[in-house]
């Protein structure tokens, strides 16, 4: 997801991804976390599956995590607070007085003490994740969910909305309207510029460079390139001799999905979450900032 400093209302973001009552986690892939983050917050930078760590108070969200999260009373009420003002003016004169302010009444929501869990998904990808949360659009739940997302933002600078089993929750994207290459033409060095031009026309600038780098790896295996059917924001790379098809997301920090060739069009027409929940794909490889994705993709395609 796009990096942010903080969010105000998690319910707005989550309502685009989840249905009422649905369970989820907040997390980040371990390999995307900066080791400096772990040191600053008093956590070990070594991944050990099953480890539970609580960040120490080193910023506003991590402090609230340990000392308590205060929210406005519902319904909103204002109360008078007496504040003693004491300062020195520029001319050196000391000023002291009391002032009454009308402020929203705050109540302690909870001393949350949120922990970070070291978890591994079924493909062996390592995550730092929250405990299981629920999206039910209640005031307390919304405040807790917002706090946890902001805690991940403070510590790691990013977050992902995940299913309980650590699969990504991703909304459907708009369809890709333009053809990539002429029908049946294979992607090789001589026409790679045509794909780059296509990406420049159709893909957001923040996602364009990473996509071109990934496709440059797939190009080594001379696939046939097609746009994916349906509203899913994917490009299809067909490997006829191998009997498999890759659906490559135009979005970074997503994944590359492989399907068997037979009936893959029907699979890609399905909603993204149907594919994930029903395990309709053959294999899945998460994007990564280092060479891990590249090594796995080459090893997988060389085996077939």
Q: Model confidence over 73-129: pLDDT tens digits?
A: 667 778 888 888 888 988 999 999 988 888 877 666 566 788 999 999 877 888 999
Task: Let me know whether 123 and 254 are in one domain.
Answer: no
pLDDT in tens, 123-159: 788 899 999 999 998 888 888 899 999 999 999 888 8
pLDDT range class, residue 1, cuts 50, 70, 90:
very low
**What pLDDT sits at residue 265?**
61
Strand residues in the chain grouped as ranges (E):
22-29, 52-53, 69-72, 78-88, 94-104, 106-110, 116-120, 126-129, 133-135, 160-162, 224-227, 234-239, 244-249, 255-260, 283-286
Query: For residue 116, with 0-12 CB atoms within 10 Å meaning exposed, 13-18 middle and 19 or more buried, which class applies?
Result: buried
Residue 167 lies in a domain: no
Total domain count, the chain = 3
User: Among the three residues 124, 147, 162, which one is the final residue of a domain in this structure?
Assistant: 162
Task: Let me know whether 140 and 229 are in one domain.
Answer: no
Task: Let me know whether 115 and 194 are in one domain.
Answer: no
pLDDT in tens, 184-231: 678 889 889 888 888 887 777 878 899 999 999 999 999 988 765 443
What is the pLDDT averaged over residues 262-270? 57
Task: Let me know whether 137 and 22 are in one domain.
Answer: yes
Residue 200 lies in a domain: yes
Q: What is the chain's mean pLDDT, rounded? A: 80
Q: Is the pLDDT of residue 174 over 70?
A: no
Instruction: Judge contact between 247 and 262, C-beta under 8 A.
Output: no
Cα–Cα nearest to 181, from 196, 168, 200? 196
Task: Let me know whether 127 and 200 are in one domain.
Answer: no
**What pLDDT sits at residue 221?**
94
Task: Let me know whether 60 and 120 are in one domain.
Answer: yes
184 dihedral zone (left: phi>0; alpha: psi -120 to 50; beta): left
Task: Let me know whether 277 and 152 are in one domain.
Answer: no
Range of the domain at 243: 189-303
Task: Let me know whether 125 and 23 are in one domain.
Answer: yes
pLDDT range class, residue 2, cuts 50, 70, 90:
very low
Q: Is the pLDDT of residue 36 over 80?
A: no
Task: Let me know whether 200 and 136 are in one domain.
Answer: no
Task: Let me know whether 142 and 18 are in one domain.
Answer: yes
Range of lowest pLDDT (39-43, 104-108, 130-134, 235-239)? 104-108
Task: Let me know whether 195 and 134 are in one domain.
Answer: no
Task: Let me know whether 234 and 289 are in one domain.
Answer: yes
From CA 72, how far away is CA 105, in angstroms rounded?
6
What is the secondary structure of 116-152 as a DSSP string? EEEEE-TT--EEEEPPPEEE---HHHHHHHHHHHHHH
Q: Is the pLDDT of residue 177 over 70?
A: no
């Amino acid at each position: 997801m796009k990096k942010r400093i903080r969010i105000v209302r998690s319910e707005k973001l989550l309502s685009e991804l989840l249905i009422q009552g649905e369970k989820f986690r907040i997390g980040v892939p371990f390999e995307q976390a900066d080791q400096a983050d772990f040191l600053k917050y008093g956590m070990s930078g070594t991944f050990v599956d099953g480890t539970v760590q609580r960040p120490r108070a080193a910023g506003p969200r991590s402090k609230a995590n340990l000392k308590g999260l205060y929210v406005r009373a519902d319904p909103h009420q204002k109360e008078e607070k007496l504040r003693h003002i004491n300062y020195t003016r520029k001319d050196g004169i000391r000023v002291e007085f009391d002032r009454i302010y009308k402020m929203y009444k705050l109540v302690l929501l909870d001393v949350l003490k949120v922990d970070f869990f070291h978890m591994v998904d079924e493909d062996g990808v390592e995550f730092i994740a929250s405990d299981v949360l629920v999206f039910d659009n209640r005031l307390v739940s919304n405040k807790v969910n917002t706090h946890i997302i902001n805690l991940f933002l403070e510590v790691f600078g990013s977050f992902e909305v995940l299913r309980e089993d650590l699969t990504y929750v991703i909304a459907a994207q708009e369809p890709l309207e333009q053809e990539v290459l002429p029908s049946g033409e294979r992607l090789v060095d001589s026409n790679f510029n045509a794909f780059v031009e296509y990406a420049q026309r159709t893909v957001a600038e923040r996602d364009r460079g990473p996509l071109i780098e990934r496709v440059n790896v797939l190009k080594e295996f001379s696939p046939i390139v097609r746009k994916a059917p349906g509203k899913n924001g994917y490009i299809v790379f067909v490997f006829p001799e191998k009997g498999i098809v890759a659906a490559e997301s135009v979005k970074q920090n997503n994944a590359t999905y492989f399907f068997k060739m037979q009936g893959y069009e029907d699979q890609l027409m399905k909603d993204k979450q149907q594919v994930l929940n029903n395990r309709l794909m053959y294999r899945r490889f998460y994007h990564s900032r280092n060479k891990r994705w590249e090594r796995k993709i080459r090893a997988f395609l060389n085996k077939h």
